[in-house]
Amino acid sequence: MKKMLVIGFAAASVIALSACSAGADTAAPAGSDEFTPITVGVIPIADTAPLYLGLEQGFFEDEGLDLTIETATGGAAIVPAVVSGDYQFGFSNLGSLMVANDKGLPLKLVNSAVASTGDVTSDMGAIVVSGDSAIETLADLNGKTVSTNSLNNLLDTVARSTIDSAGGDSSTVSFVEIPFPDASAAVENSQVDAAFVVEPFVTAAVENGNRVLAYSFSEFEADLDIAAYFSSAATVESDPELVDKFQAAMKKSLQYAQANPDAVRAIIATYTKTPPEVLAKIVLPKFPTEFNVDAVTALGQAALKYGVVETAPDMSSFLP
């Protein structure tokens, strides 16, 4: 019952994403007549390792769920697939989910997913520049071009906030959309002056000779929730038992990932072609089972400040 369907996309010179599959059918859990098929849309990055681990460890089968994983380049592509019912659940950064909430899309957060380390000297997301760049501080990004994996979203919101906090003027910075796997090459080729990337692409960029300018997630807020798993309002309302089962399996998956960093590194190798020397060095995020409400509130206020949303989300209804 373990299934993964991976849709590949363009890769940088160090890392190329590829398809993978795992396992064979197993018996249904005691007391269950059959497995319920679910599809979960994710981004194939270090952040989503707990879902793959949960599949490998049988946590979803334990709940009677037949899990298929599909991948996309960003949350902006996953959201409409969940709304349409193509996916029962999805993974997306909180910026995309705040935008969706602001637009009135019928989505409901169901699980926490990943958070920054809170360490301003070592984190799972960073703004990188070329090794010989004259850019030394975030304020030096004034008038420069910075890439993120999607625009008007989590990363550029955090980048703008940390640039301004460092004494820069983020209104002078041009943000462009480049997928994570291609961002390091874009920096090296001077297509952009800097790139905001997450692991394993932070370490890959450094291995390619780039330099970390700032760990902006941790600079923005300690223990910042980066993303969440979500479903459609229709699924939450019509099939609460399915949601309960997914939440239970996901909680076990997050707990397992947090307690087993070596297993996290090993599973990442199954859905990305990360070189072993890079995999050994990547900074793993935290995998919390609860949201940091204060940090998410601060993110909502920043999204409002920079025009990403017209209204900051109400945490009492936005978070599960």
Q: Read off the pLDDT band of 169 (50, 70, 90).
A: very high
Q: Read off the pLDDT band of 5 (50, 70, 90).
A: very low
Query: In whole angstroms, what is the distance from residue 57 CA to residue 248 CA?
Result: 14
Query: In whole angstroms, what is the distance from residue 217 CA to residue 204 CA?
Result: 18
Query: In whole angstroms, what is the distance from residue 282 CA to residue 199 CA?
Result: 6
- Answer whether residue 31 shows pLDDT above 70: no
Query: In whole angstroms, what is the distance from residue 309 CA to residue 220 CA?
Result: 18
> Does 125-220 match 3-117+224-293+308-318 at the fold level?
yes
Q: Pairing state of beta strands 89-93 and 194-198?
A: unpaired
Q: Which two tokens stand for residue 311?
A: 């209204």
- Answer whether residue 42 shows pLDDT above 90: yes
CATH number of the domain at 125-220, out of 3.40.50.720, 3.30.450.20, 3.30.1490.20, 3.40.190.10?
3.40.190.10
pLDDT given for residue 232 in this prediction: 95
Query: In whole angstroms, what is the distance from residue 90 CA to residue 175 CA?
Result: 26
pLDDT given for residue 276 in this prediction: 87
Judge whether 201 and 184 are in contact, CB under 8 Å.
yes
- Tens digits of residue pLDDT in 179-238: 888 999 999 999 999 999 998 899 999 999 999 999 999 999 989 999 999 999 999 999
Secondary structure (3-state) at 72 = coil
Query: In whole angstroms, what is the distance from residue 37 CA to residue 299 CA?
Result: 34
pLDDT given for residue 23 in this prediction: 33
Higher pLDDT, 230 or 32: 230
DSSP state for residue 274 in the 8-state scheme: -
Q: Which two tokens stand for residue 132?
A: 């010989």
Query: In whole angstroms, what is the distance from residue 1 CA to residue 34 CA?
Result: 11
Nearest C-alpha neighbor of 282 from the set 266, 270, 271, 295: 266
Judge whether 194 and 127 are in contact, CB under 8 Å.
yes
Mean predicted confidence (pLDDT) in 14-29: 34
- Answer whether residue 32 shows pLDDT above 70: no
| pLDDT cut 70: percent of the chain above it | 89
pLDDT given for residue 6 in this prediction: 40
Assign a CATH topology to domain 3-117+224-293+308-318: D-Maltodextrin-Binding Protein; domain 2 (3.40.190)
Every domain of the chain and the residues it spans: 3-117+224-293+308-318, 125-220
| pLDDT cut 90: percent of the chain above it | 78
Judge whether 90 and 190 are in contact, CB under 8 Å.
no
pLDDT given for residue 163 in this prediction: 98
Q: Pairing state of beta strands 89-93 and 225-232?
A: antiparallel
Sorted by sequence, the CB contacts under 8 Å of residue 134 that are 6+ apart come out as 140
- Tens digits of residue pLDDT in 71-88: 987 666 788 899 999 999
Provide the CA 27 distance to its chain's centre, in angstroms: 32
